[in-house]
Amino acid sequence: MDASKGGRSWFTPLMATASQAIIERFPLVDYILEIRDSRVPFSSKYQNSQHIPSKSRHLVVLNKKDLASPSQTQNWMRHFEGQNYNCCGLNAHNKDDITKLLNFIQAQVSKMNVDRSKPTATIMVVGIPNVGKSAIVNSLHQIGRISSTEKGKLKHTIVSPHPGETKDIGSFKIASKPNIFVLDTPGVLVPEVLNIEMCSNLALTGAIEDSLAGEYQIAKYFLAILNSSEEYRHWKNLKAQEDNNGPSQNHLLGRDSDSAEPGRKKRQYPTDHTQDFIVKDVRRVLYNTISTFQGNLEHESQMMRLIESQLLALLEAFRIPPDSGNDKLHRVSTKLINLYRTGRLGHYTLETPLPTRDQHTIVI
């Protein structure tokens, strides 16, 4: 995959300007939160992090931990701590996580400001696009320890599933005495061509606009990961239910399939509106196609054969008519990627902290 496609590039002029503006602020701010995506902590490294003046004023935040494998997030945290970074896993939409982060920031600020001579501290949030910088800033601002008058005038920075949403540096107050302000910044990617695996990881996790990589390619990449992982095994009981009852009829009854399971709290997926019975059918199709596949998934051509058959089988699960024209594979791909990105098809960490061929040569 190239940095540009059809005259468009992921490194936009706005990114170049923002990149410079952010670097110029490094010496002026008191602390930096570098946000990475827990699913790809290596590929989501912020390109200008070498300009951050000191490790003691730099926290690596592994955000979207709810979408990653919890044990792998622990491994990554140990990895960063082993390199003398402060590091934490975070879900930007989880109040407890944000409260802990706010406590940490306040503790750092008071350590840096022991004589309380400085009335204001500034924290800058940096990272590649779509890793959740604005979501974290909004959450910190909302639970911020500020006066009730200031609480009445809360601002919002735009949070969106599409990369490149934040265009300017914005300031949000999160604490008083001393005042602490957090700067939200636009996402910045590397300008040069990346290796194919990093590109694929960034495309799948949403750091690069989907149309640059192509939805069909991204969906195929996700299926290759799913087919090589153990996640689909969690859906075995769906197969057993089908054997006993036939295919899902919940939609006919207008019933929410997840809420039908006793003792399970219904999960919320704010950016995904796919109904539960469809998700269940998608999981069932994926489970059936993988578990009955006779070929050898180590062979690329056989993996591709499985993937292509899965995309066709998923048309029915997503209720896309097979005669719905040339864009049917595009539609099924878009829906599949969306389910993956909202965590409804399992939790995947796509990179390991162990030194591998490529990762070994690059110092984080």
Contact set with ligand GTP (CB under 6 A): 63-64, 66-67, 91-93, 127, 129-135, 159-161, 163-166, 186-187, 271, 343
The item of ligand GTP, Mg ion, none sharing an interface with residue 63, based on CB under 5 to 8 Å by kind, is ligand GTP
The item of Mg ion, ligand GTP, none sharing an interface with residue 161, based on CB under 5 to 8 Å by kind, is ligand GTP
Closest-approach residue to ligand GTP (CB): 187
Give the whole-angstrom CA distance, residue 90 versus residue 295: 39
Q: Which two tokens stand for residue 63?
A: 């955000």
Least distance to ligand GTP from the beta carbon of 65, Å? 7
Least distance to ligand GTP from the beta carbon of 209, Å? 10
Least distance to ligand GTP from the beta carbon of 128, Å? 7
Contact between 166 and Mg ion per CB under 5 A: yes
Name the 3-class secondary structure at 125. Answer: strand
Q: Which of 165/256 has CB closer to ligand GTP?
A: 165
Closest to 62 in 3D by CA, of 82, 86, 83, 84? 86
Q: Which residue has the tokens 């912020």?
A: 46
Least distance to ligand GTP from the beta carbon of 166, Å? 3
Q: Do 131 and 207 touch, CB atoms closer than 8 A?
A: yes
Residues 42-71 that bind Mg ion (CB under 5 A): none
- The vertex-75 CA angle with 349 and 95, nearest 5°, equals 75
Give the whole-angstrom CA distance, residue 214 versus residue 224: 16
Least distance to ligand GTP from the beta carbon of 258, Å? 17
Q: Which of 268/292 has CB closer to ligand GTP?
A: 268
Least distance to Mg ion from the beta carbon of 117, Å? 33
Q: Which of 287/348 has CB closer to ligand GTP?
A: 348
Contact between 130 and Mg ion per CB under 5 A: no
Burial class (CB in 10 A: 0-12, 13-18, 19+), 268: exposed
Say how many residues touch Mg ion, by CB under 5 A. 3
The item of Mg ion, ligand GTP, none sharing an interface with residue 129, based on CB under 5 to 8 Å by kind, is ligand GTP
Q: Where are the alpha helices (DSSP H) in the chain?
A: 13-25, 70-82, 95-112, 133-143, 148-151, 196-205, 210-213, 215-228, 236-245, 250-253, 276-291, 300-317, 328-341, 357-360
108: how many CB neighbours lie within 10 A of its CB?
A: 19
The item of Mg ion, ligand GTP, none sharing an interface with residue 30, based on CB under 5 to 8 Å by kind, is none
Least distance to ligand GTP from the beta carbon of 38, Å? 8
Give the whole-angstrom CA distance, residue 290 versus residue 300: 15
Least distance to Mg ion from the beta carbon of 166, Å? 3
The item of Mg ion, ligand GTP, none sharing an interface with residue 132, based on CB under 5 to 8 Å by kind, is ligand GTP
The region, left, alpha or beta by phi > 0 then psi within -120 to 50, assigned to residue 169 is: beta
Q: Which residue has the tokens 């997503």?
A: 318
The item of Mg ion, ligand GTP, none sharing an interface with residue 93, based on CB under 5 to 8 Å by kind, is ligand GTP
Q: Which of 157/250 has CB closer to ligand GTP?
A: 157
Residues 131-160 that bind Mg ion (CB under 5 A): 133-134
Query: Exposure string (b/e) for 123-161, b if CB count within 10 Å is 16 or more?
Result: bbbbbbbbbbbbbbbbbbbeebebeeeeeeeeeebebee
The item of Mg ion, ligand GTP, none sharing an interface with residue 144, based on CB under 5 to 8 Å by kind, is none
Least distance to Mg ion from the beta carbon of 133, Å? 5
User: For Mg ion, which stretch binds (CB under 5 A), given 166-174, 200-208, 263-271, 291-299?
Assistant: 166-174
User: Which chain residues interact with Mg ion by CB under 5 A?
Assistant: 133-134, 166
